[in-house]
Amino acid sequence: MRKIILGISAFYHDSAATLIIDGRIVAAAQEERFTRIKQDASFPAQAIKYVLSEAGISFDELTAVAFYDKPLLKFERLLETYHAFVPRGWRSFITAMPVWMKEKVFMKKMLRRQFRTLGATVKVPLYFPEHHLSHAASAFYPSPFESAAILTVDGVGEWATTTICYGANNDIKILRELRFPHSPGLLYAAFTYFLGFKVNSGEYKLMGLSPYGLPDAPQTVAFREKILATLVDIRNDGSILLNMDYFEFATGLKMTATPLWEALFGFPRREPESAITQEHMNLALAIQQVTEEIVVALARTAKEITGSHHLVMAGGVALNCVANHKIKAAGIFKDIWIQPAAGDAGGALGAAYAAYHIGMEQARIFFPGEDGMQGAFLGPAYGDADIRKLQARYGAVAVHQPDFDVLTQEVSEHLANGKVVGWYHGRMEFGPRALGNRSILADPRQAAMQQQLNAKIKFRESFRPFAPVVLAEDAHHYFNDATASPYMLFTTTLKEALRTNTAADTTASIYERLHQQRAAIPAVIHLDYSARVQTVHHTLHPKLWQLINCFKKLTGCSVLINTSFNVRGEPVVNTPEDAWLAFMRTEMDYLVMSNYIFDRRRQPVLPPELFKSFERD
């Protein structure tokens, strides 16, 4: 009899649903993609409906449902923390407790009530693996390794903020655990807050800002020394102790004791949307360096206590691709694999895996050298009928080109001529990265393209970087350490021969330096010549591979810019309607959906109510 497991994450951020059948992932999606509410934390009703529909089953056919953490254990942590810090935290306590006492303490009852709205008529068994076990399961079970050390690092689950586990066959053993409030993820989030970005969504902005810092500048060195002397004590094994006099996340409604931070670093907390100065960049670099020191030490400890040649990772900190590169460069492990949905959305997948392999003691499906994520293309796909409905509703105009060879030739020419193209095909990606099915593509050889995309397409800060997507077989021509990177989770550096301005003026402003012609593909290269690379393999991603290969034949360049198909404050597009409306609200030149090509110049004028001011995230 088939074992069908629904995994759920919800009620904090990045709610999601996943479905596995007999150990194989059938579908996975975040709720935000359906509701269009970025990082939607609500019960993932629409995502659940999708994954069940994708499998063609009803709710009552499920073997079990798994929720990604233990609410009662988390409630225990909240109560003990408030008690430990009395009288601090009173405002936070009276804000949080009514929600917990009304709903979250009674999670089983609340979930079953939600299940009834989805048509459930029988009580499906419920599993509640711990938060970090869900992360660990999401990293190990779909990995290409028979056994592996498992490192999970995030803000906090119930009590754990970091765990080291060992996975073999269908079992996971938790070996070490770092507990709240001492958290590498919350340390990084505190700097996200102090530098004016939104916690739980702006950490990638902090990572993107760090390469603009000057590593040898006295200020950067001083910032790093102050962090290590005052804010965090890093032990040899990678565990940390935070100086809680400087942090308010345990008891307050904000991350930092801001006056103390301002005195420590010598400048005020940056207000959101205000100008970014060199001191902000230098502080971003300093905390990035400290974070890298922590995760590399943790990786060494994972190696020492497991003896494994392989490492898998999950948790929000595993999305820090610069730190991931440092682990790889240290040569601690033979190979590393990271869950592409490493954050809380991926916890839904890990919960389902934990229920199946640990709770039900089912054998693991394992294919040496191949991961089980199917390129992360686990979301819904839409067909020509959906595109035609979009055209009928809005009067959208497209040319249907049934010959895909002709289509890729035409699109390649547009890209080579400096046009920006929305590229929409197949199943939507699961996780935060657009990997070529819900992407915006452009030519990386033009230095001005980075500024154009940020200003006119994405409506976001001009310093924000873009990723190169490159043919896997050509990656070594452009990048050092050009190993397979299909999920865009590692950085590497541009080869010396492709650097054209190695003596750039570091005294110039960030914006002047940003637009200098520093490399052969400047629009995807940071000031430190690093890049967050995605490699495209013909077997895993044939349509995108064909487009890039066609662009290569035309230009000699086998790299494109790949950025997610969304604008600031919105989730990545899901439906053809989402894609067309995003296309029309920006200054993209072309939209390619399936075999349909939409030219901006031929589209109808949108009514004013369909335009919106883009939320500052």
Higher pLDDT, 581 or 513: 581
Average pLDDT over residues 240-265: 92
What confidence tier does 80 reach under pLDDT thresholds 50, 70, 90?
low
DSSP H helix total and E strand total for the chain: 20, 22
Helix (H) or strand (E) holding 153: strand 147-153
pLDDT exceeds 90 at position 90: no
pLDDT exceeds 80 at position 75: no
What integer pLDDT is reported at residue 617 of this predicted model? 46
CATH H superfamily, domain 384-610: Carbamoyltransferase, C-terminal domain (3.90.870.20)
Structure token digits, residue 118: 């989805």
The residue with tokens 């009620």 is 11
Helix (H) or strand (E) holding 491: strand 491-493
pLDDT exceeds 80 at position 365: yes
Q: Do domains 4-130+344-367 and 384-610 have the same CATH topology?
A: no
Helix (H) or strand (E) holding 410: helix 404-416
Structure token digits, residue 320: 């820090």
What integer pLDDT is reported at residue 616 of this predicted model? 43
Classify 557 in phi/psi space as left (phi over 0), alpha (psi -120 to 50) or beta: beta
CATH 3.30.420.40 fits 179-335, yes or no: yes
What confidence tier does 455 reach under pLDDT thresholds 50, 70, 90?
confident
What confidence tier does 366 reach under pLDDT thresholds 50, 70, 90?
confident
The percentage of the chain sitting over the pLDDT mark of 90, rounded to a whole number, equals 78
Helix (H) or strand (E) holding 92: helix 90-102
Structure token digits, residue 485: 């990177």
Q: How far is CA 428 from CA 13, 381, 437, 487, in A?
A: 20, 6, 6, 14
Structure token digits, residue 291: 């974070």
Tens digit of pLDDT for each residue in 52-73?
Answer: 999 999 999 999 999 999 886 6
**What rounded mean pLDDT belongs to the chain?**
91
CB atoms within 10 A of CB 567: 18
pLDDT exceeds 60 at position 232: yes
- Whole-angstrom distance between the N-terminal and C-terminal Cα of the chain? 46
What confidence tier does 463 reach under pLDDT thresholds 50, 70, 90?
confident
pLDDT exceeds 70 at position 413: yes
pLDDT exceeds 90 at position 504: no
What confidence tier does 505 reach under pLDDT thresholds 50, 70, 90?
low
What integer pLDDT is reported at residue 253 of this predicted model? 72
Q: Cα–Cα distance between 420 and 449 in angstroms, integer?
A: 9
CATH number, span 4-130+344-367: 3.30.420.40
Average pLDDT over residues 12-36: 96
Helices 404-416/542-555 angle, 10° precision: 50
pLDDT exceeds 90 at position 278: yes
Average pLDDT over residues 428-449: 95
Average pLDDT over residues 244-267: 92
pLDDT exceeds 60 at position 87: no
What integer pLDDT is reported at residue 102 of this predicted model? 54
**Cβ(32)–Cβ(45) below 8 Å:** no
**Cβ(281)–Cβ(212) below 8 Å:** yes
Structure token digits, residue 557: 């360049």
pLDDT exceeds 80 at position 83: no
pLDDT exceeds 70 at position 199: yes
Contacts of 412 (CB under 8 A, 6+ apart): 547, 550, 551, 553, 554, 555
Q: Cα–Cα distance between 251 and 79 in angstroms, integer?
A: 10
What confidence tier does 99 reach under pLDDT thresholds 50, 70, 90?
low
Report yes or no on whether pTM surpasses 0.85. Answer: yes
- Specify the pairing of strand 240-242 against strand 491-493: unpaired
Domain positions in the chain are 4-130+344-367, 179-335, 384-610
